[in-house]
Amino acid sequence: MSQVTNTTQEGIYFILTGIPGFEASHIWISIPVCCLYTISIMGNTTILTVIRTEPSLHQPMYLFLSMLALTDLGLTLTTLPTVMQLLWFKVRRISSEACFAQFFFLHGFSFMESSVLLAMSVDRYVAICCPLHYASILTNEVIGRIGLAIICRCVLAVLPSLFLLKRLPFCHSHLLCHSYCLHQDMIRLVCADIRLNSWYGFALALLIIIMDPLLIVISYTLILKNILGTATWAERLCVLNNCLSHILAVLVLYIPMVGVSMTHRFAKHASPLVHVIMANIYLLAPPVMNPIIYSVKNKQIQRGMLNFLSLKNMHSR
């Protein structure tokens, strides 16, 4: 009877896993995890508010930064419910529909982050290599189209993998290795031919994990070629300092992303704790670190925050 039930999608549920070996300490682990989620939500909300309220930040670079903050906020809110209800209330069961919905938004926002960082590298290239045409090339209309293209790209990338997975029977254990629904985790539970899923996943990895960083590297290669040929050392350092925030954001995303992919593909027999730690770093590092990076390294964001706080204090009086 269980075999028949497991081969249909109706009534299927999955069991989430917290921190393996530390189940008794979940309530204590929830404190730093909750702090990280709070930092992410407050930081990205602050970035969005400052950019919206500060007229001097209504520029292409900061419009792309607001896209990044929205993406980070979406990624945070996608995993927060299942993670915190597991750590606080030990609720491990999740319905298949809720799991597939989380799967869609989790991977969609993750791919969207990569796409936004790629768009930001193009923005840096145009600003540094074509400064006289910057405002005419990256108009608000063009930026809006880029944002729409990013959304379409991510939806069209994730939907096929979602439908390919939904059509398959889950007749193994329904125990997931994480406290959220990852494709790499869910595909293990399938008892059918998954070659098509694997090939699509491989193509997607080439598209997102390899092509996006490669294009970012190409854009920075062109930037370096431009400034090394014309600028003085002081100008070169100024340009590199302006790009540093974006470079750090790229590293914060892609190093954990590559780490998770390599761990799932080549370290399947590693300790479950390794997989959990890698996945949590991958999903929490960018939303937590990006607001900190841009708040610390970008003087215009700092000034915008100070102006916002001073206005808020004036209104409160």
| DSSP string for 235-283 | HHHHHHHHHHHHHHHHHHHHHHHHHHHHHHHH-TTS-HHHHHHHHHHHH
Residue 161 domain-assigned (yes or no): yes
Per-residue pLDDT at 6:
42
Using DSSP's 3-state secondary structure scheme, residue 170 falls into: strand
Q: What DSSP element (H or E) covers 94?
A: strand 93-95
pLDDT tier, 229 (very low <50, low <70, confident <90, very high otherwise): confident
Average pLDDT, rounded, for the chain: 89
313 part of a folded domain: no
pLDDT digits (tens, 9 = 90+) for 18-68: 999 898 999 999 999 999 999 999 999 999 999 999 988 999 999 999 999
| Distances in whole angstroms, Cα of residue 132 to Cα of each of 240, 250, 282 | 19, 27, 38
Summarize the confidence of residues 137-166 as an average pLDDT. Answer: 95
**pLDDT grade for 246, boundaries at 50, 70 and 90:** very high
Whole-angstrom distance, CA of residue 27 vs CA of residue 265: 31
Q: Answer yes or no: is 120 within a domain.
A: yes
Question: pLDDT band at residue 314, thresholds of 50, 70 and 90?
Answer: low
243 lies in some domain: yes
In a domain, 311, yes or no: no
Query: Is 252 part of a structural domain of the chain?
Result: yes
Range of the domain at 285: 13-304
Number of domains in the chain: 1
Residues 91 and 87: their CA atoms lie apart, in Å, by 8
pTM over 0.95: no
Cα end-to-end distance, the chain, whole Å? 68
State pLDDT tens for residues 74-120: 999 999 999 999 999 999 999 999 999 999 999 999 999 999 999 99
Domain assignment present for 7: no
Q: Is residue 237 part of a domain?
A: yes
Of 3, 160, 15, the residue nearest 98 (C-alpha): 15
CATH number at residue 84: 1.20.1070.10
